[in-house]
């Protein structure tokens, strides 16, 4: 889906369409009313071979609500050029025309190529709006510097067509790189009951696991999410199984594991549970001052013992020696990747929308800056896709001296 907004650089959208169609990409276009003053819809219709929509009231003869069907059909939603006004609308969730309504409804990655006067580009409001969009996973193709249409010289000129097309094609490939993969994701905490009211638990919100499940589904995976207690809604496009205790999570996980090609285990599973549980609420005067505890099942360990050709990714929440502890977990449980994080960093991790993690594999430890958990989910899915591709390449390699 290619959105075009009201900017002197709108004619460059034609070049973008031409390069995308040459690369085998099917393109549909949607324009703001302002864009039609710079570029005729007929031009884009001719280049794409598809109807071009300019208002919410266009008669498309579609049986469904058109902005919703367009939103669901798109693998990538690119806006070239994107004005400061539309950037602000996207950041604020304003949907008052066909382009912004479709953008708000889509699960596809947004690729934004801004173009505007240099003073508008540098304005605090524009910078803040772009930061919001980046936090949500949008890809921003930074504008170039040079002479602008207004005569000013500076940043704000639309990036080169080749750079924009490269960014779009990268997202087109990413959008289907997990197609058909049967993925099991675990997320959230577990609650181990002491009585009818009290439990042993932890502070996990489940946000990272839910975002990974949603991102993987967007990229074509068949996702089953086994979730401990959270307040989060079921992620779009996934089968969600809700559990409470470690043993319930173990049972639900192993039910799905046999059919899984890969696992991303983000759940913060309790290692211990009360040896005995009271069915009633224990009254204050009867409450014990100590609890006898017993270990719960090692879910990831059990999966590792039956790993086979599956890709296994685990998480390690640590308070010290993050990389060393993550690597130890990687080796003990035959994992392909461990995502480690320091739980002592204030404002990050449990309950937050942001985290700072390190991706630990057998070959490397890649430290990532503090960023949105949505961006971390994208990086984990990239790593998963890379590992699956590596295995597919290895399995199809022809031994030396043989022919296929």
Q: Bin 269: left if φ > 0, else alpha if -120 < ψ < 50, else beta.
A: beta
Torsion of CA 172, 175, 180, 183, to 10 degrees: 150
Q: Cα dist. 47→6, 22, 111, 301 in Å?
A: 19, 11, 20, 55
Q: Token digits for 40?
A: 């005729």
In DSSP terms, 372 is beta-bridged to 354
On whether the CB atoms of residues 263 and 278 are closer than 8 A, the answer is no
> How many residues are listed for the chain in this entry?
404
Q: Which strands, in side-by-side order, build the sheet including 139-140? A: 52-53, 29-31, 2-4, 76-82, 109-114, 139-140
Nearest-10 crossing angle of helices 98-105, 84-92: 40
On whether the CB atoms of residues 191 and 229 are closer than 8 A, the answer is yes
Q: Cα dist. 175→76, 143, 218 in Å?
A: 7, 24, 7
Residue numbers annotated as active site: 150
HSE toward the beta carbon, residue 108, CA cutoff 13 A: 26
Residues 373, 314: Cα–Cα separation, whole Å: 16
Which of these, 210, 234, 228, 237, lies nearest to 353 by C-alpha position? Answer: 210
On whether the CB atoms of residues 196 and 287 are closer than 8 A, the answer is no
In DSSP terms, 222 is beta-bridged to 182
Q: 63-78 burial string, b = 16+ CB within 10 Å, else e? A: eeebbeebbeebbbbb
Q: Give rounded-to-5 percent helix, strand, coil for the chain.
A: 40, 20, 40
């Amino acid at each position: 889906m290619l959105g075009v907004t009201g900017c002197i650089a709108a004619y460059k959208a034609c070049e973008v369409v031409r390069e995308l169609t040459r690369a085998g990409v099917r393109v549909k276009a949607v324009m703001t009313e302002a864009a039609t003053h710079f570029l005729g819809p007929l031009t884009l219709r001719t280049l794409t071979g598809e109807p071009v929509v300019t208002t919410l009231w266009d008669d498309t003869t579609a049986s469904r609500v058109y902005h919703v069907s367009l939103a669901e059909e798109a693998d990538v939603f690119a806006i070239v050029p994107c004005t400061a006004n539309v950037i602000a609308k996207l950041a604020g969730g304003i949907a008052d025309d066909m382009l912004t309504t479709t953008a708000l409804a889509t699960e596809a990655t947004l690729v934004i190529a801004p173009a505007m006067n240099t003073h508008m580009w540098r304005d605090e409001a524009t910078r803040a709006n772009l930061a919001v969009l980046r936090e949500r996973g949008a890809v921003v193709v930074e504008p170039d510097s040079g002479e602008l249409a207004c005569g000013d010289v500076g940043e704000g000129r639309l990036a080169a067509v080749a750079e924009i097309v490269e960014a779009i094609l990268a997202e087109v490939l990413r959008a289907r790189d997990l197609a058909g993969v049967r993925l099991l994701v675990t997320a959230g905490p577990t609650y181990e009951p002491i009585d009818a009211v009290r439990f042993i638990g932890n502070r996990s919100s489940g946000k990272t696991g839910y975002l990974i499940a949603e991102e993987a589904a967007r990229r074509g995976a068949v996702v089953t999410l086994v979730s401990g207690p959270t307040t989060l809604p079921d992620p779009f496009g996934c089968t969600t199984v809700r559990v409470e205790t470690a043993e319930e999570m173990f049972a639900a996980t192993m039910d799905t594991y046999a059919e899984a090609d890969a696992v991303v285990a983000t759940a913060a599973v309790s290692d211990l549970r009360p040896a005995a549980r009271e069915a009633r609420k224990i009254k204050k005067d009867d409450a014990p001052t100590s609890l006898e505890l017993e270990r719960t099942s090692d879910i990831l360990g059990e999966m590792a013992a039956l790993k086979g050709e599956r890709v296994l990714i685990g998480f390690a929440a640590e308070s010290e020696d993050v990389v060393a502890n993550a690597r130890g977990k990687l080796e003990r449980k035959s994992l392909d990747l461990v995502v480690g994080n320091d739980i002592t960093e204030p404002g990050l991790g449990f309950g937050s929308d942001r985290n700072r993690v390190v991706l630990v594999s057998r070959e490397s430890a890649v430290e990532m800056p503090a960023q949105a958990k949505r961006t971390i989910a994208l990086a984990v899915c990239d790593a998963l896709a890379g590992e699956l591709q590596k295995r597919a390449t290895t399995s199809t390699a022809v031994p030396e001296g043989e022919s296929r």
